[in-house]
A and B are shown apart, each in its own frame.
Chain A
Amino acid sequence: MIAELGHFALILALVLACVQAVVPLVGAQQNRYALMAVGRPAAQAQLFFLLFAYGCLTWAFVTSDFTVRLAAVNSHTATPLIYKITGVWGNHEGSLLLWAASLSLWTVAVTIFSRDLPEAFMARVLGVLGAISAGFVSFTLFTSNPFTRLLPAAAEGRDLNPLLQDPGMIIHPPLLYMGYVGFSVAFAFAIAALLSGRLDAAWARWSRPWTTAAWVFLTAGIAVGSGWAYYELGWGGWWFWDPVENASFMPWLLGTALIHSLAVTEKRGAFRNWTVLLAISAFSMSLLGTFLVRSGVITSVHAFATDPARGLYILVLLVLVIGISLTLFAWRAPRLTGGGSFALMSRESTLLGNNVLFAVVTGAVLLGTLYPLFLDALNMGKISVGPPYFEAVFVPLMVPVVVLMVIGPFVRWKNDDSARIVRRLAPGAIVSVLLGVGLAVVVGNFTWRTVLGLALAAWVLIGSVQLLRARVAERPGAAAGAGVRLRGIPAAWWGMWLAHLGVGVFIIGVTMVGSLESELDVRMKDGQTARLAGYTFTFRGVVDAPGPNYLAARATIEVARGERQIATLTPEKRLYLAQQMPMTEASLDIGPFRDVYVSLGDELEDGSWIVSLYHKPFISWIWLGCTLMGVGGICAAADRRYRRLAERRVPAAATQSA
């Protein structure tokens, strides 16, 4: 009964999405307020029904109602409660429902936080979002109904894929989806602007906090996902350039470009058609990613079980959404020009340079991801494009991006004196190069990669300090204390500063772990020791440690540095019963300057165990860097400037209603 209620709620949500897609758009076109006003309640009611449907599906999982096919295939009575709940999105149908619910959540957020948008503009935004929602809810209903019954019921469920039974997987998909789907808001704003012909600084200002918010979610989602891969896959890798990872990385790259391009459009009115194109492309990449994961055109460890009918439906959806918006772009964009002149040495050109490079990187990643498909389609053989290709392409293109990132904030809008910039930044750059060379020698890895990475990171950090000092010095009211002047700096500036600093921290992590990590595979028996990177590992035997839905052998390994005991690690080897799937559960000692990582292999005939030991210097800096970027994004999105209009409006609204 509950499942039927959920199914019915989903149908109602589809009807509401269609209403939301059509009525407000017609209203905006004919300037009829009554029609425009339908958008908001439709969006809110749609959210209610989608959440209700989602709740019903979760109920089937939690109560182990195996008459619902999806629960029978992805859950089990012995699965821990938390993984029953997260199991809902650990499959194609449920994750699609989560996708639709996130979209609805964003739509309702727009109706709440962007109250002050002109009514016609709001109506168009809601119409576009409604159309996307209608596409995805119908996709769910017609090809991937999560509420399909299984009669007679299965006696027992098949359990959630053990790889997904992990704390990282509890938050990774919702964050990632909120990010993916969040770009739909920037997209809807761009389409609404194209429809109304109103593409100005105000439009850019309305879009900015939404774009940044989506970017924060996507950043967090990708970071959590890579953290999950790091400790769950059992050998300490954290990024694989897998097609599905690329699918989430491409919208991130374009989203980053969009954030910067929007800044120029808001401040100077320039790059308007480029910004619109980026807004369309960022969301298109999200849709393309969804297509790649769910259609089966590309092999990936992440891909869902596939079905050509689904692939076709989503491709048609893709062609409609992106095709129509790009046609609209080709029709309206030629009218958008202006923005005033700027010189080579200007904030505009550094930001445009950043945009160009991000677009090229995205293009390269897209090329590498789809090239095997192109060759196959043209019957020219099968190839694999893997990490070596992407690294060879990505690193050289990102180095100038980082350089521009350091220079950009020092450069004035419109026109600046090159000599002034060089005088300003050259000392820091020289010190950084020397630091890079010196540090590479000190850590004993004098390769061009290490030197380059450390020098770049050093320059980012030095540049950040210089930038902060310059900002404090130039604030008016120099007589006031530094504290007062620091407080006078707007949140958006802090956001930029933190995010850029985060990039520096991230580079340190990547460089250090890339050049200094070490590993050792040993056979260990009770009491035996092994040494790696100055640490001593003592094996203290293996005990049985069964869990709710798995059997496990748990080893105890003491880690010492010299005489000092540092940690006791307990890696496990599990056998998940329902799927008879063996898993290694690594155990880590996380530290600020290194992780010690141990995973347990097979037992040998003589009673010893194969143990893999890893030393990963500075690896947590990778996620620290991502965290700084995310926090920076939150600061930027929360800047008061974006709310000022709203605050000013409140008394007016109050008087009107009074």
Chain B
Amino acid sequence: MKAKFLVPLVIFLALAGFLAYGLKLNPREVPSPLVGKPAPAFSVAQLQAPEASFSSADMRGQVWLLNVWASWCVSCRQEHPLLVELGRRGVVPVVGLNYKDGRADALDYLVRHGNPYTTIAVDPEGKVGFDYGVYGTPETFLIDREGVIRYKHIGPLTREHFERVLMPMITELSRAG
């Protein structure tokens, strides 16, 4: 058996290895290049008090979550109970970004499903969302005291994922400094 005739087999097995590994990956998940970078600054109106404004700079010195949601977003409803619980327990401040939504619809949604947010910023045209590279709702960003994005989650948060990944990061970031 000459070595050169084994080349196709070796190439194929390497390929199969990658394919096997690929089965475990989710091709639809796109990591954000913003992780590790300062969160884009924005200053917009608040949902419940349209005359008042919310600025990302207000959150300086705190570890917080920015949760992008909308009343038309079906999968947002999946993670909503978890967010309500987080809000009640006061684990971490959760700022909502109401994305491409109508004010009345959004308020109605909160009445029906509960309001987990400390503040809600409104982004009717999706301009803030665009700066954060939002391409689907819900999306959740973890931002540290210096205003740097530490983590991004696409799709509904699950309790398991929150406890396993986000919670340790939040504890760690809150302790440091």
A residues near B, CB below 8 A?
273, 277, 280-281, 284, 291, 295-299, 308, 311-312, 315, 318-319, 322-323, 326-327, 329-331, 333-334, 370, 372-374, 376-377, 381-382
CB distance from B176 to the nearest CB of A (A): 25
Task: Tell me the minimal C-beta distance from B49 to chain A in angstroms.
Answer: 32
Question: Which parts of B1-57 form the interface with A (CB within 8 Å)?
Answer: 1-2, 5-6, 8-9, 12-13, 15-16, 18-25, 27-28, 30-31
B25 touches A329 (CB 8 A): no
**With a CB–CB cut-off of 8 A, which chain A residues contact B21?**
377
Chain A residues contacting B30 (CB-CB under 8 Å) are 382
A620 to B71, CA, bound (A): 47
Is B9 within 8 A of A326, CB to CB?
Answer: yes
In angstroms, Cα B27 to Cα A296, docked, is 8
The answer to whether B5 touches A273 (Cβ under 8 A) is: yes
Are A308 and B18 interface neighbours, CB within 8 A?
no
**With known contacts A298-B27, A330-B5, A381-B31, A374–B18 Cβ distance under 8 A:** yes
Q: Which residues of B contact A382 (CB under 8 A)?
A: 30-31
Q: Pick the contact of B1: A311, A318, A330 (CB < 8 A).
A: A330
User: What is the minimal beta-carbon distance from B75 to any residue of chain A, in angstroms?
Assistant: 17
B12 touching A323 by the CB < 8 A rule?
A: yes
In whole angstroms, how far apart are the Cα atoms of A237 and B22 in the complex?
30
Question: Quick check: B19 and A291 within 8 Å, CB to CB?
Answer: yes
Q: Which residues of A contact B15 (CB under 8 A)?
A: 370
Nearest-CB residue, chain A, relative to B11 = A326
Residues of A within 8 A of B27 (CB): 296-299, 372-373, 376
What residue of chain A has the Cβ atom nearest to residue B13's Cβ? A323
Task: Report the bound CA distance from A280 to B16 in whole Å.
Answer: 16
- Chain A residue nearest in CB terms to B25: A376
Q: Is the CB of A297 within 8 A of B9?
A: no
- Chain B residues, CB < 8 A from A284: 12
B: residues with CB less than 8 A from A are 1-2, 5-6, 8-9, 12-13, 15-16, 18-25, 27-28, 30-31
Shortest A356–chain B CB gap in Å is 15
Q: Are B25 and A297 in contact (CB under 8 A)?
A: yes
Please name all residues of chain B whose beta carbon is closer than 8 Å to the beta carbon of A376 when the two chains form the complex.
22, 25, 27
A377 close to B18 (CB less than 8 A): yes
- A322 and B12 contact, CB distance less than 8 A: yes
The interface residues of chain A, by DSSP majority, are classed as: helix
Report, nearest first, the 10 A-B pairs whose CB atoms are least far apart.
A297-B22, A326-B9, A330-B5, A377-B21, A299-B27, A311-B23, A334-B2, A330-B6, A373-B22, A333-B5
Can you list 30 residue pairs at the A/B interface with Cβ under 8 Å?
A277-B8, A280-B8, A281-B8, A284-B12, A291-B19, A295-B19, A295-B23, A297-B19, A297-B27, A298-B22, A308-B23, A311-B23, A312-B20, A312-B23, A315-B20, A315-B23, A318-B16, A323-B12, A326-B9, A327-B9, A370-B15, A372-B27, A373-B18, A373-B19, A373-B25, A374-B18, A376-B27, A377-B22, A381-B31, A382-B30
In the complex, A148 Cα to B54 Cα: how many Å?
54
Whether A315 lies near B16 (C-beta < 8 A) is yes
Since A277-B8, A382-B30 are in contact, a sample of 13 more A-B pairs with Cβ atoms closer than 8 Å, ordered by chain A residue number, is A273-B5, A291-B19, A297-B22, A298-B27, A312-B23, A326-B8, A326-B9, A330-B8, A370-B18, A377-B22, A377-B25, A381-B31, A382-B31
Nearest CB in chain A: distance from B27 CB, A? 4
Closest chain B CB from A244 CB (angstroms): 13
For B16, give the chain A residue with the smallest CB separation: A319
Complex Cα gap A374–B1 (Å): 30
Quick check: B9 and A323 within 8 Å, CB to CB? yes
**A residues within 8 A CB of B1?**
330-331, 334
In the bound assembly, the distance between CA atoms of A308 and B21 in angstroms comes to: 11
A550 to B8, CA, bound (A): 51
In the bound complex, residues from chain A placing their C-beta under 8 Å from that of B31 are 381-382
From residue A650, how far is it (CB to closest CB) to chain B in Å?
41
Residues of A contacting B25 in the complex (Cβ-Cβ under 8 angstroms):
297, 373, 376-377
| Residues of the A chain whose Cβ atoms lie less than 8 Å from the Cβ of B16 | 315, 318-319, 322-323
**Chain B residues whose C-beta falls within 8 Å of the C-beta of A322 in the assembled complex:** 12, 16
Complex: A273 Cα to B13 Cα, angstroms: 20
Selected contact of A329 from candidates B5, B20, B24, CB within 8 Å: B5
Bound-complex Cα distance A299 to B25 (A): 11
Tell me which residues across on chain A come within 8 A of B20, comparing CB atoms. Answer: 312, 315
Contact A326 B23 (CB under 8 A): no
Q: How far is the CA of A446 from the CA of B24 in the complex (A)?
A: 49
Residue in A312, A315, A334, A374 whose beta carbon sits within 8 Å of that of B5 in the complex: A334
B118 to chain A: closest CB distance in Å?
32
**Residue with the greatest number of chain A CB neighbours at <10 A, chosen from B9, B12, B18, B22:** B22
Complexed CA–CA distance, A382 and B32 (Å): 10
A315 and B19 alpha carbons, distance in the complex (Å): 8
* Residue of A273, A319, A329 contacting most chain B CB atoms (<10 Å): A319
With a cutoff of 8 Å between Cβ atoms, the chain B residues found around residue A318 in the complex are: 16, 19
